[in-house]
Amino acid sequence: MKVSELAHSFGTTVDTVRYYTRLKMLNPIKSDNGYKYYPPSEISRFKFILSARQLGFSVSDIQDIIEEASHGKAACPLVRTLIKERLAETEKQFQAMLVLRKNMKDALAQWEIKEDKAPTSTMVCHLIDSFELATDERGSRDK
């Protein structure tokens, strides 16, 4: 399968295929005419890479998993460890987004009743300048 065919079959771009090829995560066969062909083993590997990316694994994670498997070791323990780390990171990001969402809603509620003002030499937008950060249950301000 050529680069364009591989990309098309997975609904991605040729640049994506070439990116993973440049990183040596995919190893196509080079033909006499200069085209790169991806045999079934590389097609399976590309599917694995795309699936791992959808699960939040980084490129570095995937390289580590592939490296582990290339030595004949079961990569499953590493995969479990990495997914736990990615899940913890995602949970932190999710909590941060909830705080941001609350701040945005609070700001909008405060700003709905305020008039528009022209900027001055000491103020760009009085709405942002006047925004009061919410405090958490301990009384400290969100950062």
What pLDDT score was predicted for residue 134? 56
**Topology of domain 1-54, CATH:** Multidrug-efflux Transporter Regulator; Chain: A; Domain 2 (1.10.1660)
CA distance 24 to 42: 11
CA distance 28 to 7: 13
What residue ranges do the domains of the chain occupy?
Answer: 1-54
Written as tens digits, the pLDDT of the chain (143 aa) is 999 999 999 999 999 999 999 999 999 999 888 889 999 999 999 999 999 999 999 999 999 999 999 999 999 999 999 999 999 999 999 999 999 999 999 999 989 998 998 988 888 998 888 877 655 554 555 55
What pLDDT score was predicted for residue 123? 84
- Report how far apart the first and last C-alpha atoms of the chain are (Å, whole number): 51
Distances (CA, A) of 25 to 65, 91, 100: 11, 29, 37
Cβ neighbours, 10 Å, residue 62: 23
What pLDDT score was predicted for residue 129? 85
Q: What is the pTM of this model?
A: 0.75
